[in-house]
Structure 1
Amino acid sequence: MVNNLASLFTPVLLKRLTGFAACLGLLSASLVSQAAEITPTTLRLAHVVNTEDTYHIAAARFQELVSEKTNGAVTVDIYPNASLGDERTLLEGMQIGTVDMGVITNGPVANFVDEFSVFELPFLFPSHEAAYSVLDGEVGQEILDKLEGVNLKGLAYAERGFRNITNSRNAINTPADLDGLRLRVIENEVYVDTFRTLGANAVPMAWTEALTALQQGTIDGQENPVNAIHAFNLAETQDYLTMTRHIYAPAIFIMSLPKWSGLQEEAQVAVLEAAQEASTYAREQNAVMEAEQLAELGEAGMEINESPDIEAFQAAVTPVYEKYGQQFGDYLPRIQEALQ
């Protein structure tokens, strides 16, 4: 039977088929070899928010992409809800290698590298697209690279989004409405000075502490993007939401530099690409979800002011630019020039 089948093929065709089979064998061996090049590794990725939040969406997409790009050699375990500590604790853990990586809000990162605070200047970015053009461009990459100086590795800018004010005391339309408001802000000097300049009693604290303070009424309000306000059901403690869009807040995929340096080059490429792609995905999801989240917050009883007097807020924060304008070297003028 075999001899009869062989007789159907010419010597030339047999030679080509044999060569094709050999190529398939080499390709298969190459794929096996490539997968074998990456030593099995598990990365512990932590963040401080719940599994409904954009940070977790970004982390979960990263987890999928890393597995795909390494054929399962690198796995990612996700630790949400501040289970490994607040954001400062996570960053300090990455520095000494006890935490592998995280998705971290830009504000706390600025406590480790001052230049990140330039992104926190109020009303700097007029739109999401303007922010992306800077963060994904030369200035953004230069600042991201500065993390290596503090034993961290910056991978990509994901997104927290434009921040807005919520409170339980009164509706807000102008800076005057913030007078005396006990407002939780990120533990970052630019945030603190911005809201004290606006007349609020700015109270810097970790997010985990802020949730308890809001429930107990020891603070009146807080400021965060819509996705966080929705994810943490702040309508339960906050009656008013004002869409000031005062600061665009990146979130950052950050890794322990010792952990990064210990990865093989192939794994480093996969991790970096996955972080960048997951960040883009998170931005897209934010854009899709915001309108629906606002509608649900309104249905839950929040009074939403979508058009406060932004010009009055912009004029009121001029002293913040006077104080910090020269603090970040040439980064602020370079950003402003890029946005023109």
Structure 2
Amino acid sequence: MNLKGMAYAERGFRNLTNSERAVNSPEDLDGLRIRVMENPVYTDTFRELGANAIPMAWTEALTAMQQGTIDGQENPVNVIHSFNLDETQNYMTLSRHTYAPAIFVMGMPAWNQLPENAQEVLLAAAQEAAEHERQVNAEMESEQLQALRDAGMEINDSPDMEAFQAAVAPVYEKYGEQFGDYLPRIQEALK
């Protein structure tokens, strides 16, 4: 891509919201129309969970939720809060099903023109900024969750994670080989 990766900040974990009912297990997703990113892994994952997964651009999802064309969506808490999804979504499940990093990058042509000491300073600054951003994001998430609760959103912060993990096992089987040893390494690190 001709980019220099400098540090990982975050967008946060993605969580499920919907307008119909509380979700604690995959059975609770049965038949819900859930907007997912236009990505086959996401589509297959939510279909394995029993949802009617609808790949859709985010710009279309807001209107679709308002019109009742879809029942729910999945995004980090900061997106759910920032877009006032409590106005159309009554329930949130802290499913934390996907982690979304935010990567600091720089174009390689510009990077290669910098002296080594400037590169070191930029890398250190990017790491410091990433760590600060993750801390601020964690603090904001707590405040945003409370604001959503205060607005009347019912938030389930302890869904049956084992049931969700078991339900999506076929997705791991379908896509696992595409990702080489990354998937087993991630799974091992999570133990």
Which category describes the TM-score, using the shorter chain as reference length? 0.7 to 0.9
Deviation of 1:334 (Å)? 2.6
The separation in 1 between residues aligned to 2:43 and 2:31, in whole angstroms, is 14
Specify the code of the residue in structure 1 equivalent to 2:136: Q
> Are residues 208 and 261 of structure 1, via their aligned partners in 2, closer, same or farther at CA, if it must alter by over 3 Å?
farther
Verify: 1:200 aligned to 2:51, yes or no. Answer: yes
Choose between structure 1 and 2: higher strand proportion: 2
List alignment gaps of at least 5 residues for structure 1: 1-149
| Percent of paired sites with the same residue | 73
Aligned partner of residue 23 in structure 2, secondary structure: coil
Q: Tell me which residue corresponds to 2:130.
A: 279
Match of 2:60 among 209, 217, 230: 209
Verify: 1:180 aligned to 2:31, yes or no. Answer: yes
Q: Tell me which residue corresponds to 1:254.
A: 105
**Structure with the larger RCO, 1 or 2 (CA within 8 Å, 6+ apart):** 2
Specify the code of the residue in structure 2 equivalent to 1:232: F
For each residue in 1:147-175, what CA deviation from the matched residue of structure 2 results, as whole angstroms up to 9, or x when unmatched? xxx23332221112222100112221221
For 1:1-340, list aligned pairs within 5 A.
Answer: 150-263=1-114, 265-340=116-191
Specify the code of the residue in structure 2 equivalent to 1:315: A
For each residue in 1:121-143, what CA deviation from the matched residue of structure 2 results, as whole angstroms up to 9, or x when unmatched? xxxxxxxxxxxxxxxxxxxxxxx
Specify the code of the residue in structure 1 equivalent to 2:143: E
List alignment gaps of at least 5 residues for structure 2: none
The separation in 2 between residues aligned to 1:338 and 1:239, in whole angstroms, is 34
Q: What value does the CA root-mean-square deviation take over the aligned residues?
A: 2.2
**TM-score between the two structures when normalised by the length of structure 1:** 0.51
> Are residues 312 and 336 of structure 1, via their aligned partners in 2, closer, same or farther at CA, if it must alter by over 3 Å?
closer
Deviation of 1:311 (Å)? 1.8
The separation in 2 between residues aligned to 1:213 and 1:192, in whole angstroms, is 17
**TM-score between the two structures when normalised by the length of structure 2:** 0.86
Aligned partner of residue 159 in structure 1, secondary structure: strand
Larger Rg: 1
Aligned partner of residue 170 in structure 1, secondary structure: coil
Aligned partner of residue 176 in structure 1, secondary structure: helix
For each residue in 1:1-32, what CA deviation from the matched residue of structure 2 results, as whole angstroms up to 9, or x when unmatched? xxxxxxxxxxxxxxxxxxxxxxxxxxxxxxxx
For each residue in 1:225-253, what CA deviation from the matched residue of structure 2 results, as whole angstroms up to 9, or x when unmatched? 22221122111121111111222222222
The separation in 2 between residues aligned to 1:195 and 1:187, in whole angstroms, is 12
Specify the code of the residue in structure 1 equivalent to 2:154: E
